[in-house]
């Protein structure tokens, strides 16, 4: 009996659908995020091409970074444990300090300045593996050129003798120091790579992620239903790496690097 090819194909599709449905690991949902991320990655790389044409020198970056970091260094202190962490992560040229602020966060500035806020430090100082991912993430922003990308405009002004007359105040520059979603995902991966190379436990990244996400989730619980609905819609069509996407990317990277 001859079986038509179409029926075989349709049957295979149906079986595949059944298998995917039964396999809980392959849970997925509809979202514009993957397609948007693809476009954003290419946009970022296009900017990197521009960076090749108009590079920022290391001396320039260090000067701008020093100016920006001056605002924080007076309230920051050096911690031996943090220095050791940076050394193990291969952070050559990274100047990491604990910044006296209650927030649960960390940030990097051009020129290799990394600040871990006191709030986060207190939570993770006894968990060096988890802290390693956070610090590795911030080192990633420096090493992957994210910081440099942000100050390219500022550097151009300085190079043309307009440094003092730059329309950007320090405050404005600091306000602009936010990384794109694609850059955040890249730095997450970078942090994992460095953790793995330094011999830290990769699964500690989950602990660190939850420590960072906990205040946001607490804040989330305070929001009204209207805000939550709006966030749901925005999440569906949005570009910000929401927790689901970021966690999934983290899991995927942990699995890939572990292999």
Partner 1 sequence: MGEPEELKRLRFDLESLKNQVARLEKDLEHYEHRDAPEPVREPEPEPAPAPKPAPAPAGKRVSTEAVIGEKVLQYVGLFLLALGALFFVVWRSAHSSPLERVLGASALGAALLYLSHTVRSRPPYDKHATGLAGGGWTILYLTAWAAHHVPLARVIDSPLAGFCLVVAAAAAMVAHALSLDSKGARMWTFGLAFFVLLLSRSSLPDFNILLLLLAGAVMIGAATGHADIVLVSLLGYLLNYAPEFGTGLFASRHALSGENFLRAFAPLTGAYALTAGIPFWAKARAALASNDELPTLDKAMTLATVATAAGGCLLTAKFFPGQPLPTAAVGLIVGAVGVGHRMVLPAAGVSRWGAYAGAAGTALGALMIDSKSWRMVAWVLTAGFWSLVGLKTGAPAYRQAGFLMGLFSFILYASAARRADGRAAAAQGLMLYAALSYLSARFYRTWVGDAIERWEEKFKEGWLYTGTAALLLALWGLLDSAAFALAGLGLCVVGESAAARFGRRHLWLQAAWLELFFGGYLFLIDHGANLPLFAGVTPLALCGAAYLAVWAHFYFEDAPDAGKAWQRRWLSWAALAVFGYSVYHTFGPRARLPAWALSTLGLYALGRGRADDLLKTLAVVLAAGTLFEGFTSYLYAPGALLASPGAFDVAVYWGSTFALLGAFGLAARDEGSLIDSQARFALAALSMAMMTFFLGKELESYFMTLSWGVVGGAYLAGGLTLERKELRWPALALLGITVGKAVLLDTAHLALPYRVLSFVVLGGILVAASMLYVRARKDED
Q: With binding defined as CB under 8 A, does residue 54 bind partner 1?
A: no
CB atoms within 10 A of CB 46: 9
Pick 97 or 194: Cβ nearer partner 1: 194
- HSE of 160 in the Cβ direction (CA atoms, 13 Å)? 8
Q: List the Cα angle 137/144/217 in 5-degree steps.
A: 30
User: Which among 244, 247, 218 has a CA at the least distance from the CA of 232?
Assistant: 244
Pick 29 or 74: Cβ nearer partner 1: 29
Q: With binding defined as CB under 8 A, does residue 145 bind partner 1?
A: yes
Place of tokens 């420096």: 142
Q: Find the shortest distance in angstroms from Cβ 201 to partner 1.
A: 20
Binding mask 15-44 for partner 1 (x = CB under 8 A): -xxx-xx-x-xxxxxxxxxxx-xx--xx--
Q: With binding defined as CB under 8 A, does residue 7 bind partner 1?
A: yes
Pick 8 or 103: Cβ nearer partner 1: 8
Pick 97 or 146: Cβ nearer partner 1: 146
Q: For residue 253, give every residue at least 6 positions away whose Cβ sits within 8 Å of its Cβ, in sequence order, or none.
A: 188, 189, 192
Give, as ranges, the residues between 169 and 208 that touch partner 1 (CB under 8 A). Answer: 186, 189-190, 193
Among 122, 153, 178, 244, binds partner 1 (CB under 8 A): 244
As a whole number of angstroms, the distance between CA 188 and CA 138 comes to 9
Q: Find the shortest distance in angstroms from Cβ 219 to partner 1.
A: 23
Q: Find the shortest distance in angstroms from Cβ 251 to partner 1.
A: 7
Q: For residue 54, give every residue at least 6 positions away whose Cβ sits within 8 Å of its Cβ, in sequence order, or none.
A: 152, 156
For residue 181, what are its two tokens?
């979603």
As a whole number of angstroms, the distance between CA 189 and CA 177 comes to 20
As a whole number of angstroms, the distance between CA 175 and CA 259 comes to 39
How many binding residues for partner 1 (CB under 8 A)? 51
Stretch that binds partner 1, among 7-15, 99-107, 154-162, 202-210 (CB under 8 A): 7-15
Stretch that binds partner 1, among 1-9, 62-70, 121-129, 217-225 (CB under 8 A): 1-9
User: Which among 117, 116, 249, 253 has a CA at the least distance from the CA of 195?
Assistant: 253
Contact set with partner 1 (CB under 8 A): 4-7, 9-14, 16-18, 20-21, 23, 25-35, 37-38, 41-42, 45-46, 48-49, 52, 140, 143-145, 186, 189-190, 193, 244-245, 248-249, 251-252, 255
């Amino acid at each position: 009996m001859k079986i038509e090819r179409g029926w075989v194909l349709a049957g295979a599709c149906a079986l595949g659908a059944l298998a995917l449905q039964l396999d809980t690991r392959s849970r997925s949902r509809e979202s514009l995020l993957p397609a948007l991320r693809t476009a954003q990655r290419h946009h970022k790389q296009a900017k990197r091409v521009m960076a090749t044409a108009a590079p920022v020198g290391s001396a320039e970056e260090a000067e701008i970074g020093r100016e920006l970091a001056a605002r924080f260094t007076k309230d920051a202190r050096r911690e031996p444990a943090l220095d050791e962490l940076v050394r193990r992560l291969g952070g050559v040229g990274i100047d990491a300090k604990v910044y006296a602020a209650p927030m649960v966060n960390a940030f990097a500035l051009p020129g290799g300045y990394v600040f871990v806020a006191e709030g986060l430090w207190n939570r993770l100082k006894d968990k060096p593996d988890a802290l390693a991912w956070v610090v590795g993430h911030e080192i990633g922003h420096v090493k992957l050129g994210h910081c440099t990308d942000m100050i390219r405009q500022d550097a151009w002004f300085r190079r043309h003798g307009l440094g003092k007359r730059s329309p950007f105040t320090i405050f404005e520059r600091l306000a602009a120091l936010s990384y794109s979603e694609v850059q955040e995902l890249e730095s997450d991966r970078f942090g994992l790579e460095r953790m793995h190379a330094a011999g830290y436990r990769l699964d500690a990244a989950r602990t660190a992620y939850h420590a960072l996400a906990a205040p946001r989730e607490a804040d989330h619980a305070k929001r009204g239903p209207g805000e939550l609905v709006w966030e749901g819609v925005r999440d569906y069509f949005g570009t910000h790496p929401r927790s689901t996407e970021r966690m999934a990317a983290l899991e995927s990277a942990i699995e890939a690097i572990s292999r």
